[in-house]
Structure 1
Amino acid sequence: SYDVFNTPNLWGINHSKPRKDNNDRLFKATDIIRIKPVTVLLGSSRTKRALDPNHPALKHQQAYNLSIDNPNVYELRRYLEHVIANQEELGLVILGLDFFTFNSFQENRVNFYENRLEKQRISAKDFINVTFSLDALLASKETIVDSRKTPPDYIGYGENGFMPELNIDPEKTQQRFNRLISYYVKHRYARYQLSGQFLDELKKIVDLSQKNQIKLVLFISPSHATHWEAMKRKDKWSTFEEWKRKVVQISDVFDFSGYNSITTEAIHHNMENYTENSHYTPKVGNLILNRLLSYKEEEVPEDFGILINPENIESHLVKIRQDREIWAKNHPDEVKLVKEIKQKYDASLN
């Protein structure tokens, strides 16, 4: 039900595991012990849903998507240490950076347990929970019920940690955008303080990688233009820029954010690049990996994925501000959408 013990996936009985996605901190920790990957893709649900370890540039190595839902940078550092403890040959880490993971209010998730990390076997607590708990029993029942109605091409879903969003209803694209923009306005960007501690955690990740001779490649996620607009409406833009300035003091980073050929896709039913304003599709994930791994870069739009460093950061930030003005002029309906969601929320507070 959680896919912790790597039991065979039998179609119609247990191939679909609806709770697996919500228990990524558990099953991915045990996967690392079992699989011992030499390449790891790390980050939030954005990376988890879009970066495929089976990308052609990674096909000759054991790659695993270790991204977890809604993390902070401390959690990501601990999961990296877990890989290092289990695979001394770890050679490449691709880390997706998200502004929200550096929020000082972003606490460890309740299902984050230190005692399952840097171990060579599943912890006793996890073993008992997975095997004997009522929750496990209910999860097993869900697995069997769900497997009877889920098509067989989902067999093996998530076995390399990659968990793209399935069964996306194109008719509900606008609703998904509305809901997620509203969520970011009400919650994610309602309270934000750039965390010095989490910036230090990023520095620790960089240092860990150097110490263990791991090639570390950092990138900033390409959420949709309306996502950045919501951030701007919540007066977080200057903090967002400051975050990038701090990041490049720690390491060079590929920036896929802002307003470019990919992120400015108009909102419509059959979007190629986005499921909603926050999460991009595996198609975009492939373009990111192409850029980061210098693979078929001619397929990647020129404006998508700019390597930034202390030398070019200021001109880069200026260009994004200019690009925003162009986008706003060309997409007044989307600007209006975000503005109205924000106004509606503000009115509800009074």
Structure 2
Amino acid sequence: MYNLALDGAVSYEILRYLQHTLKNQPNLKEVIFGIDFFMFNKFLGNQPGFDENRLEKNYLFPSDIMNSLFSLDTLEVSRKTILASLQQENYDKYYGENGFMPNSKYRDGKAKIWFTKSINIYFQFNYKYKFNDKYFEDFQKIVKICREKNIKLKVFISPSHAIDLESIRVTGEWQTFENWKRKILKVTPVWDFSGYNSITTEPLQDVMENYADSSHYTKPVGDLILNRILGYKEKEVPADFGVLITPENIESHLAKIRADREEWVKNRKSELELVQNLENKFGETQQQKDK
């Protein structure tokens, strides 16, 4: 098992890393692919660290080895690490045996601050949104490759906090969001963990159980996702968390999400105001830049 965990990747990057994986591990048996609305945004490109030259090879470039060991960046990071270890507490306690950082942020009592920052990041990168047909074609290629090679593919939509969904709504892209789900289902069934359920509607407070910020959920939530998808310990998964959507049930599913939102907003005015105020400030800043 390997968790690729790419940061902010578009679907083309995922496709290329899948091809790279198959070059080095041709006997790949199963892929669990978490997708979100944003990786199909035409205004987003590949991450700065993405390099085609590294892919579909089973060796490291000498330049990569030199840069990682002897570059000025490496020297500076090493210096900061040594100084931090002398001046601050040991942060090893934040790491699990698998390298995951279960306690790095969401237990620090600053969840409201982290949520505010992540909403602003959403506006920074997705204030303008246009569905990219090319990225959709890349997604289709991923599904096709898995089918041709008899790789079990399970696709799921990540459960961003309900506040993230409001960010989509205030930028006027809710209909685009729903159409995105409809389009994805023309390619493959999808497990949908988004919406207004018992996990995603956790009240915003200083210490959160389910989220580090509005778009990053915690390990226990990740375990619930895997349990639902893999049919493991399903009794431990909330009944309203995770729906397998198909072309046959998508319209009723979307209608339920809309109805669930109407119930949610009745008691979450402060969270709605937070998103709206941040959007207003961001919009004003953009107008000033455009002058």
> Structures share a fold, TM > 0.5?
yes
Q: TM-score under structure 2 normalisation?
A: 0.92
- 1:170 equivalent to 2:108? Answer yes
Match of 2:134 in 1: 197
Aligned mate of 2:258, from 302, 321, 332:
321
For residues 172 and 207 of structure 1, do their structure 2 counterparts lie closer, same or farther at Cα, with a shift above 3 Å needed? same
Match of 1:299 in 2: 236
Give the match's secondary structure for 1:89: coil
1:306-334 per-position Cα deviation (integer Å, ceiling 9, x unaligned): 00111111111111111111111121221
What is the identity, as a one-letter code, of the residue corresponding to 1:313?
I
Q: Which segments of 5 or more consecutive residues in structure 2 lack a partner in the other structure?
A: none
CA distance in 2, matches of 1:245, 1:284: 25
Aligned mate of 2:270, from 313, 327, 333:
333
Aligned mate of 1:76, from 8, 11, 14:
14
Report the Cα offset of residue 258 of structure 1: 0.8
Aligned mate of 2:58, from 120, 129, 132:
120
Q: TM-score under structure 1 normalisation?
A: 0.77
For residues 81 and 151 of structure 1, do their structure 2 counterparts lie closer, same or farther at Cα, with a shift above 3 Å needed? same
Report the Cα offset of residue 299 of structure 1: 0.7
Report the Cα offset of residue 174 of structure 1: 1.2
Match of 2:158 in 1: 221
- 1:310 equivalent to 2:247? Answer yes
- Please show how residues 253-292 of structure 1 align to structure 2 within 5 Å: 253-292=190-229
- 1:239 equivalent to 2:179? Answer no
For residues 340 and 167 of structure 1, do their structure 2 counterparts lie closer, same or farther at Cα, with a shift above 3 Å needed? closer
Report the Cα offset of residue 92 of structure 1: 1.1
Q: Is the 2:190–2:245 contact (alpha carbons within 8 Å) kept by the matching residues of 1?
A: yes
For residues 156 and 271 of structure 1, do their structure 2 counterparts lie closer, same or farther at Cα, with a shift above 3 Å needed? closer
1:113-167 per-position Cα deviation (integer Å, ceiling 9, x unaligned): 11111111112221221122212222333344445542444567665xx555614
CA distance in 2, matches of 1:147, 1:215: 44
CA distance in 2, matches of 1:224, 1:292: 19
For residues 77 and 259 of structure 1, do their structure 2 counterparts lie closer, same or farther at Cα, with a shift above 3 Å needed? same
Give the match's secondary structure for 1:94: strand
For residues 96 and 193 of structure 1, do their structure 2 counterparts lie closer, same or farther at Cα, with a shift above 3 Å needed? same
For residues 65 and 164 of structure 1, do their structure 2 counterparts lie closer, same or farther at Cα, with a shift above 3 Å needed? farther
CA distance in 2, matches of 1:114, 1:87: 18
Report the Cα offset of residue 169 of structure 1: 5.0
Aligned mate of 2:32, from 94, 112, 116:
94
Aligned residues: 285
Q: Aligned Cα RMSD in Å?
A: 1.9
CA distance in 2, matches of 1:321, 1:104: 26
Match of 1:12 in 2: none
Q: Which segments of 5 or more consecutive residues in structure 1 lack a partner in the other structure?
A: 1-62
Aligned mate of 1:150, from 83, 90, 104:
90
CA distance in 1, matches of 2:198, 2:126: 25
CA distance in 2, matches of 1:110, 1:167: 25
Q: Is the 1:189–1:236 contact (alpha carbons within 8 Å) kept by the matching residues of 2?
A: no
CA distance in 1, matches of 2:267, 2:186: 34
CA distance in 1, matches of 2:125, 2:58: 35
Match of 1:183 in 2: 121
For residues 145 and 89 of structure 1, do their structure 2 counterparts lie closer, same or farther at Cα, with a shift above 3 Å needed? farther
What is the identity, as a one-letter code, of the residue corresponding to 1:276?
D
Report the Cα offset of residue 341 of structure 1: 1.8
What is the identity, as a one-letter code, of the residue corresponding to 2:11?
V
Further displaced range: 169-178 or 82-91: 169-178
- Please show how residues 207-218 of structure 1 align to structure 2 within 5 Å: 207-218=144-155
For residues 219 and 165 of structure 1, do their structure 2 counterparts lie closer, same or farther at Cα, with a shift above 3 Å needed? farther
Further displaced range: 229-238 or 163-172: 163-172
Aligned residues: percent identity?
Answer: 47
Q: Is the 1:245–1:310 contact (alpha carbons within 8 Å) kept by the matching residues of 2?
A: yes
Further displaced range: 133-142 or 205-214: 133-142
Report the Cα offset of residue 80 of structure 1: 1.0
CA distance in 1, matches of 2:20, 2:201: 37
